[in-house]
Amino acid sequence: QVQLVESGGDLVQAGGSLRLSCAASGSIFRITTMGWYRQAPGKQRELVAVSTSGGSTNYKESVKARFTVSRDNAKNTVYLQMNSLKPEDTAVYYCNADVQSTWSDRRLYNYWGQGTQVTVSS
């Protein structure tokens, strides 16, 4: 079993910055894709930014110039640096990871964190 624990969510004024962190622990041989999704009230969960083990990244178009996803593979941790925050960024942010648990079992299992609230006031 794998646990993802997010931190860093807060209330911030528009134009401000936040840094989210997500640490994975448990039965981990390697993590392939790891990143962030968000869900605003009344809306579907959406991809914000993800990073692959090969170093490539994928961003939601509206955050590309403002958010940066990064990873510390030695710590099984992913970060999301969010700058120039806007009220429309308000949501619960969820960490997500695809995990291979053992060397011998090559299947990838998908895990979610419990979410961290980001609120941007205007």
**pLDDT tens, residue order, the chain (122 aa):** 999 999 999 999 999 999 999 999 999 999 999 999 999 999 999 999 999 988 899 999 999 999 999 999 999 999 999 999 999 999 999 999 999 999 999 999 999 999 999 999 99
Closest CA to 73 of 95, 101, 52: 52
What amino acid is encoded at 60 in this protein? K
Please name the residues in contact with 103: beta carbons below 8 A apart, sequence gap of 6 or more: 29
Rg (CA), the chain: 14
CA distance linking residue 69 with residue 63, whole number of Å: 11
Q: Phi first, then psi: what are they for 90, rounded to 5°?
A: -60, 125
CA distance linking residue 112 with residue 104, whole number of Å: 23
Token match 């964190």: residue? 113
User: Residue 106: its pLDDT value, please?
Assistant: 94
User: Residue 70: its pLDDT value, please?
Assistant: 97
What's the full length of the chain, in residues?
122
What amino acid is encoded at 84 in this protein? S
